[in-house]
Amino acid sequence: MDVNEVRKCFPALTREIYGRPLVYFDNAATSQRPESVMDMLRLSGLHSNANIHRAVHTLSSEATDLYEKGREAVRSFINASSGEEIVLTSGTTASINILAHGFCGSLLQDGDVILLSEAEHHSNMIPWMLCAAGKGIAIKYIPVDGTGHLDMESYVRLLESSNVRLVSVPHISNVLGIVNPISEIISLAHEHGAYAIIDGAQGIVHEDVDVQRLDCDFYVFSGHKVYAATGTGVLYGKSSLLAELPPLMGGGEMVGTVTYQGTTFAPLPLKFEAGTPNFAGCSTFSPALEMASLCRDEGIRRNVLQMTEYLESELLKIPGLHLLGTGEGKAPVFSFAVEGAHHEDIALLLDKMGVEVRSGLMCAEPVINKFGYTGVVRASLAPYNTVRECEYFMRCLVKALRMLS
Amino acid sequence: MTLIEEERSVVEEFSVLEDWMDKYEYLIELGKSLPMIEESSKTEANLIKGCQSRVWLNSSFSDGKVFFTADSDAIITKGIISLLIRVYNGRTPKEILDSDFSFISEIGLKENLSPTRANGLVSMIKQIKEYALAYSLKQ
C-alpha cells in the first residue's frame, strides 16, 4: 500500500502552516486523527449518547455496545485472551497510577524494590515515587548506555543483587526512540520472581504487540497516540493479577453489592472503571485500531523504515548535532541537541516553515539531563509521514541552523 | 521619544517584514545585538519562571526611572527581550504600568502571548510590570 492512501484519511495533513504545507513531526506527543475516528465520536455523541452499563433502554445499549466494541478492538489488537483483561482508562498516566497504587498499597511489601529504567517518561516515575513514599519500597534504575540502549548486564545484576519484585520499563523511550528488548526483560523479570509492566505509549504505534507471546503482566498505552480520541487509554493486565489488585477509584458501576458497612467489587474489568467512563472516546478505539492495523501494511512499514534510516544518517551528518539514541532498534523518534543553537529557537523557526516538532524536556527530564542537555528538539514520525517530508525537514533544519549561527 | 512613540517605531519596523522568516531573522539579529548582562546578574532570583529557555531580567531604579538588563540562552527570546527593553527602559513606573503591551500583538508576535506558550513572553511582561510596581511603591 502507498502511504498517500493512508494520508487521505487524515484531513489535517492537507493543512498549511504559515503558507507552507504542514509537516507534522510531533507524533510521539499525539497523532493526527483519521476521519473515521471523528465519525465515531460524532455518532456516539449525536446519535447513540446515553450512559453505559446501566439503563435498560435502547440508547444505553447502543452506547454500551459501541464502548464494548472499542474494548474488543483493543483486545484483538494486542491479542489478549479476554476482554476481562482490558481496562479502559483515560491514558497511559492513569493506567500506571492504577498499577502504582495497587502494587504499593497491596502487593508489595517493606523492603521490596521497584526497577525502572533511566529513560522513563515522568508518567512511569512519579506515580511510583508517590505510592512508594514512606512505605519502605525502594526504586532503582536500569542504566542506559551512551547510545541509548539499556544495559542488560546491569539489569541482571540488579535483579540478582536486590529484592526486585516489579520491573516497569518503556517499550520505546519517548526521548531515545530505541526499541527495548522487552521479551528478554520480561522473561528475566519472571525468572527472578518480579512482575513485568511495559509502558507501551510509544511502542504500540510502531511495534507489533502480542501480550500473550510477550507474557508481560501488564501493558499500558494511550489512545491519542494511535489515532483514537484524546482522554482514552488502556491497562492490559493478566486477569489473575487484575483480580488481586485493589482499585484506585471507587464509585459508579465498579461495585458488586454496597451496604452501609462496605462493598464488593464488580467483576473485571469494570472494577477499575469507576464513574462514568469516557465512553464516547473509547468507542473510537474501533476505527483507530483499524487504522493502526492498516499502518502495519508492508508498504507502510517499508516507508517507516526508509524514513528512519534516512533521518538517522542525515541528522548525524550535521556538524555539532548530537542525536540521543542511535543504532540497533531505532524507532522514528529523533531527539537531538545542536551546539550553539537553542532547542526552542530551532523549534520556533521550523514552525514558521510549517514543520511541527517538540522542544524542551519531553516530560523526561532525568534522561535528558543524564546526556548533559537542558533540552532537546524532538522530531517524531508516524506511519503517515513521507520521505519527502523528511527531506523538507532536513532542508528547513539546515536553514534554521544557518540563521541561528 | 515617548513610550508610545517608541512602540510605534517598533511596529513600523516590523510592518515592512511581511514574511515570517524575515520577522524571525530580524528578531535573531536583535537578539545577537542585545548587550550581555553581567554574569553576577544571572542569579536564581533574576531568572524568570515559566520559560522553556532561561531568561534573566535584572532591573535598577534611578531618578524615578526603571532600567533593565536581560539575557537568555535562546536567541529569539533575546530578540523579543531587546524589543521590550527598547520600549520600557528608562521609563517611569507609571508609564510602564499604564502600557497595555499591545505593540507585541501588532508586530505579529501575539501567538507568543498565550499564557501556555513555552517561551514565556507573558512571564517576561509580568516581571517587567512587577518591577515597575515595586518601584512605584518605593517612591
| Assembly ipTM | 0.87
pLDDT at B51 > cutoff 90: no
Nearest 5 degrees, angle CA A91-CA A95-CA A100? 145
pLDDT at B33: 87
pLDDT at A258: 93
- Summarize the confidence of residues A336-357 as an average pLDDT: 95
Give A137-172 pLDDT, tens digit per residue.
Answer: 999 999 999 999 999 999 999 999 999 999 999 999
Q: Quick one: pLDDT band at residue B18, thresholds 50, 70, 90?
A: confident
pLDDT at B114 > cutoff 60: no
For a pLDDT cut of 70, what percent of chain A falls above it?
100
Which residue is catalytic, options B30, B34, B48, B51? Answer: B51
Q: By CA distance, what is B52's nearest residue in A?
A: A360
3-state helix, strand, coil in chain A (%, to 5): 45, 20, 40
- Summarize the confidence of residues A255-274 as an average pLDDT: 93
- Summarize the confidence of residues A22-29 as an average pLDDT: 98
User: Is the CB of A342 less than 8 angstroms away from the CB of B53?
Assistant: yes
B113 compared with A79, residue with greater pLDDT: A79
- Average per-residue pLDDT for chain A: 96
3-state helix, strand, coil in chain B (%, to 5): 55, 15, 30
Provide the 3-class DSSP secondary structure of residue B16: coil
pLDDT at B41: 84
For cell 500506571, name the residue. A96
Q: Is B99 touching A (CB cutoff 8 A)?
A: no
Q: CA of A262: how far to CAs of A243, A268, B138, in Å?
A: 18, 19, 62
User: What spatial distance separates the first Cα and last Cα of chain A, rounded to whole Å?
Assistant: 42
pLDDT at B49: 73
B42 compared with A350, residue with greater pLDDT: A350
Give A229-248 pLDDT, tens digit per residue.
Answer: 999 999 999 999 999 999 99
Cross-chain CB nearest to B20 (options A352, A359, A374): A352
Give B54-79 pLDDT, tens digit per residue.
Answer: 889 999 999 999 999 999 888 988 89
User: Is the CB of A349 less than 8 angstroms away from the CB of B24?
Assistant: yes
B121 compared with A127, residue with greater pLDDT: A127
pLDDT at B115 > cutoff 60: no
The three grid cell numbers given for residue A278, joined into one nine-digit string = 469516557
- Average per-residue pLDDT for chain B: 86
**Domain ranges, ordered by start, for chain B:** 3-138
* CATH of region B3-138: 3.90.1010.10
pLDDT at A351: 94
pLDDT at B109 > cutoff 80: no
Give A73-122 pLDDT, tens digit per residue.
Answer: 999 999 999 999 999 999 999 999 999 999 999 999 999 999 999 999 99
Annotated catalytic residue B65: no
pLDDT at B105: 82
pLDDT at A313: 97
Quote the CA–CA distance of A140 and A175 in Å, as a whole number: 20
Q: Is B113 touching A (CB cutoff 8 A)?
A: no
- Summarize the confidence of residues A295-315 as an average pLDDT: 97
A240-269 residues labelled b (16+ CB within 10 A) or e (exposed): ebbeebebbeeebbbbeeeeeeeeebbebb
What are φ and ψ of residue A173, in 5° steps?
Answer: -70, 140
pLDDT at A321 > cutoff 60: yes
Query: Shortest Cα distance from A403 to chain B (angstroms)?
Result: 7
* Chain B residues touching residue A360 (CB < 8 angstroms): 52, 118
Torsion sign (Cα): A189, A83, A28, B73: negative
* Chain A residues touching residue B118 (CB < 8 angstroms): 344, 359-360
DSSP code, position A272: G
User: Is the CB of A359 less than 8 angstroms away from the CB of B119?
Assistant: no
How many C-beta atoms lie closer than 10 Å to residue A47's C-beta? 11
Considering only CA atoms, which of A180, A192, A246, A190 is closest in space to residue A217? A190
Tally the C-alpha atoms within 13 A of residue A194's C-alpha that lie toward its C-beta: 27
Tally the C-alpha atoms within 13 A of residue B124's C-alpha that lie toward its C-beta: 32
Quote the CA–CA distance of A153 and A193 in Å, as a whole number: 18
Q: Quick one: pLDDT band at residue B110, thresholds 50, 70, 90?
A: low
The three grid cell numbers given for residue A93, joined into one nine-digit string = 498516566
* Chain A residues touching residue B119 (CB < 8 angstroms): 344, 348
How many C-beta atoms lie closer than 10 Å to residue A153's C-beta? 9
Q: Quick one: pLDDT band at residue B119, thresholds 50, 70, 90?
A: low
Q: Quick one: pLDDT band at residue B126, thresholds 50, 70, 90?
A: confident
What's this model's pTM, rounded to 2 decimal places?
Answer: 0.94
Q: Quick one: pLDDT band at residue B117, thresholds 50, 70, 90?
A: low
For a pLDDT cut of 90, what percent of chain A falls above it?
96
pLDDT at A33 > cutoff 70: yes
The answer to whether B113 touches B92, Cβ cutoff 8 Å, is: no
* Chain B residues touching residue A18 (CB < 8 angstroms): 20
Taking each helix axis from N to C terminus, what angle separates B121-138 and B75-88, rounded to the nearest 10 degrees? 30
Residue A267 neighbours by CB under 8 Å, 6+ apart: A84, A256
How many C-beta atoms lie closer than 10 Å to residue B44's C-beta? 6
Which residues of A fall below an 8 Å CB-CB distance to B? 18, 342-345, 348-349, 352-353, 359-360, 374-375, 403-404
pLDDT at B116: 53
pLDDT at A193: 97
Taking each helix axis from N to C terminus, what angle separates B20-33 and A387-404, rounded to the nearest 10 degrees? 30
Quote the CA–CA distance of A247 and A14 in Å, as a whole number: 43
Quote the CA–CA distance of A153 and A160 in Å, as a whole number: 11
